Amino acid sequence: MTKWLAPRSAIGILLITAALIALPFVAAMGGQAWVRIVNFAILYIFLALGLNIVVGFAGLLDLGYIAFYAVGAYTWALLASPHFGLHWPFWAILPIGAVIACFFGVLLGSPTLKLRGDYLAIVTLGFGEIVRIFLNNLNAPINVTNGPQGITLIDPVKFGDFSFSGTTQILGVSLSGPQKYYFLLVALAIFVIIINLRLQHSRIGRAWQAIREDEIAAKAVGINTRNIKLLAFAMGASFGGIAGGIFSAMQGFVSPESFSLIESIMILAMVVLGGMGHIPGVILGAVLLTVLPEVLRYGVGPLQVAVFGKMLIDPESLRMLIFGLALVLVMRFKPAGLWPSPERKRELQGDA
Amino acid sequence: MKRHRKVPFLHVTVDLPKMDIFLQQIINGLVQGSIYALVALGYTMVYGIMGLINFAHGEVVMIGTLVTITVASLLIKAGVPLAVAGLAGLVAAVLACMALGWGLERVAYRPLRNAPRLTPLITAIGMSIVLQNVAMIVWGRNYMTFPPVLPKINFELAGAHFTAVQVMIVVVSGLTMSGLVLLVYRTKLGMAMRATAQNPQVASLMGVNSNRVISAAFVIGSALGALAGVMVGTYYEIAHYQMGFMLGLKAFTAAVLGGIGNLAGAMAGGILLGIIEALGAGYIGDLTGGFLGSHYQDIFAFIVLIVVLMFKPSGLFGEKTGDRA
């Protein structure tokens, strides 16, 4: 930790801080839509780092991670919207969302953690689908989730009188809603990055890595594998729950559509594509996979017009096509991810 | 998912005597289950040999259905008799999917044979996105109607109704699966496959060309998938570029339920899953006093899976294997 105080690191930190403060204003030059995209990139960093605990550190393949995100999002939506007429404050809901998501994580984890890799993957996938189907159908006979229509008019995050939606003037600077959320999200992201960094080389983090590399050996040296795996699941789930709550407040609207399997897969892709278990890599993966589709969304249509003079292919499918190809190509040429941890890179080269 | 709305049993009126409904659901479940089983075989063969979840398999099935529709519709328009057009469509789909399966392995999996375990999973997902969007560009976003290549004949058995299409599906998949069992247990290629599944290194030391075996597994699995795709098309009479996803997911669930990597397990898992789903959808309303309706149908597959795996962690027929270190 002390090396952070070295002059070179201090300059680096200052530069990063300056860039982080400037980013929402630079993005706003391209329109508030870009600020929202930046916000989503940070939200996905949060989610990807949460999943990184489960997949990257502990080596448990979780394909239903979005379920915890959904639980957090619906917790916020139900406790802070006109749907049930409840308007609880954020400091009450966020922990509740995290605890409920954590409970679901333990609920899913405790019976299934003895399963081997791919069996665990399909069970978590099934769990994610179960949660989504319930959210979609729990509007009858008692209307809990309002079904496929979802819940609208969800309260934004509020500190006392300070609301995160709408424009406000702070010290003469005009801040839009998305820009305010940006700073909140950055703060949360830094929080989760610090937790990840501290966990990585802690006793627990080393236990996770031991389980990831060889579960039987880990058991043999006295690690309580069941509890440690459950802890990874519960922690990942709580982070998912918190991210879900923020998502809900930021959007003002949730529906089951946002929590389909493809979302789980995307978050997993961020973790793997960036470099499993390596925090900077996962951050890079999350940013790339959020921003790339958006850049393609704005770029593919005009580019076709420029090259061929007219729209030849539906830009929406072309965009996803390129995205899919990019996933294949990156993994083809960088099997360990774009920015793998040094140890992992060495291992792979040793194998070859 | 749309296709479930078209399932005939949902149109059966409720005032029939109980036994009829039960029989009806068993028949419908058997038909759906045969389709799941065929698709599940594709997953299980690949998994058994190389320990890889071929996530793009559902899309192969989808491409098979859409190719059949295009070929058969063109031939029907040209005045070719219905049955011949249907058969030609089937052959075209099987050939197209075999080529696709072969290509998929070459492009997305073979270069990553020695990569970390999750890497091919991501390329599989990437290929699945690519195939879906290619299908959308080629065939469009709309639902396509499957040409009526088989005559509509209805049968009745003890109050339960079924059609010629349903009989055809069960018979053809039964024959195909027997053929596959013969292939795997009675031919040289089959022996090579089983050897590679047991231990790839030793198999290749014994002169098995493991690349050929793996390609063969992909090609055969894709051919079975194409056949299943044609069956789905004739059964529900519609197809769509997104149909492969849920079908693939269910079939994969079936494969895991039976014990992934195990041929008999995939077949049994598929049929079991089909029947459980049909019975579940038929009875869930009564069981929960109307609290949960038949739109919870998709849940059964996963609940059954979780419960089975809790008690049998390697699936119903899977062998107990330790972690391969």
Of the pLDDT bands very low, low, confident and very high (cuts 50, 70, 90), residue B224 is very high
Q: Mark which residues 118-137 of A lie under 8 Å from B by CB.
A: 118-119, 121-123, 125-127, 129-130, 133-134, 136-137
Over residues B230-237, mean pLDDT: 91
* Architecture in CATH for domain B2-311: Orthogonal Bundle (1.10)
Q: What is the pLDDT of residue A334?
A: 86
Interface check B249 vs A, CB under 8 A? yes
Rounded distance between C-alpha atoms, residue A277 and residue A52, angstroms: 6
Rounded distance between C-alpha atoms, residue A178 and residue A34, angstroms: 9
pLDDT at residue B322 is higher than 60: no
Over residues A72-94, mean pLDDT: 87
Rounded distance between C-alpha atoms, residue A273 and residue A284, angstroms: 9
Question: Do A100 and A245 meet the contact criterion of CB atoms below 8 Å apart?
Answer: no
- Which residue from B298, B266, B236, B264 is spatially nearest to B39, judged by alpha carbons? B266
Q: What is the pTM of this model?
A: 0.85
pLDDT at residue B314 is higher than 70: yes
Rounded distance between C-alpha atoms, residue B121 and residue B115, angstroms: 11
Residue A348: list chain B partners with CB under 8 A. 115-116
Rounded distance between C-alpha atoms, residue A73 and residue A67, angstroms: 10
Rounded distance between C-alpha atoms, residue A291 and residue A296, angstroms: 9
Is residue A302 packed enough to be buried (19+ CB in 10 Å), middle (13-18) or exposed (0-12)? Answer: exposed
Over residues A182-188, mean pLDDT: 90
Query: What are the structural domain ranges in chain B?
Result: 2-311
Write out the E strands in chain B.
144-145, 154-157, 160-163, 238-239
pLDDT at residue B324 is higher than 70: no
Over residues A108-134, mean pLDDT: 85
Q: A112, A328, A343, A349: best mutation site toward chain B, by most B Cβ within 10 Å?
A: A328
Query: What are the structural domain ranges in chain A?
Result: 27-261
Rounded distance between C-alpha atoms, residue A50 and residue A192, angstroms: 8
Count CB neighbours of A148 within 10 A. Answer: 12
- Give the rounded percent of residues in chain B with a pLDDT score beyond 70: 89
Strand pairing category for A158-159 and A162-163: antiparallel
SS3 assignment, position A168: strand
Of the pLDDT bands very low, low, confident and very high (cuts 50, 70, 90), residue A13 is confident
- Give the rounded percent of residues in chain A with a pLDDT score beyond 70: 95
Rounded distance between C-alpha atoms, residue B122 and residue A328, angstroms: 7
pLDDT at residue B133 is higher than 50: yes
Q: What is the pLDDT of residue A66?
A: 94
DSSP 8-state assignment for residue A156: P
- pLDDT tens, B162-185? 888 899 999 999 999 999 999 999
ipTM, 2 decimals? Answer: 0.83
Instruction: Closest CB to A130: pick one of B116, B291, B299.
Output: B299
pLDDT at residue B8 is higher than 70: no
- List the single residue in B with minimal CA-CA distance to A147: B295
Which of the given ranges, A27-36, A324-333, B37-46, has the highest pLDDT on average?
A: B37-46
Q: Which helix (H) or strand (E) holds A200?
A: helix A177-200
pLDDT at residue B285 is higher than 80: no
Rounded distance between C-alpha atoms, residue A38 and residue A68, angstroms: 22
Of the pLDDT bands very low, low, confident and very high (cuts 50, 70, 90), residue A276 is confident
Count CB neighbours of A184 within 10 A. Answer: 18
Q: What is the pLDDT of residue A81?
A: 85
Q: What is the pLDDT of residue B16?
A: 46
What's the whole-number average pLDDT of chain A? 85
Instruction: Closest CB to B108: pick one of A115, A125, A328.
Output: A328
- Total beta-carbon pairs less than 8 A apart between chain A and chain B: 143
Question: Do A277 and A99 meet the contact criterion of CB atoms below 8 Å apart?
Answer: no
Residues 6+ apart with CB under 8 A from B214: B49, B50, B105, B110, B196
Handedness of CA A19, A24, A30, A33 (dihedral sign): positive
SS3 assignment, position A62: coil
Residue A61: list chain B partners with CB under 8 A. 118
Rounded distance between C-alpha atoms, residue B49 and residue B121, angstroms: 15
Of the pLDDT bands very low, low, confident and very high (cuts 50, 70, 90), residue A41 is very high
Of the pLDDT bands very low, low, confident and very high (cuts 50, 70, 90), residue B51 is confident
Over residues A209-213, mean pLDDT: 89
Of the pLDDT bands very low, low, confident and very high (cuts 50, 70, 90), residue B320 is low
Please tell me the least confidently modeled range out of B16-20, B63-67, B78-82.
B16-20
Strand pairing category for A80-81 and A168-170: unpaired
Q: Mark which residues 114-133 of B lie under 8 Å from A by CB.
A: 114-123, 125-130, 132-133
pLDDT at residue B249 is higher than 60: yes
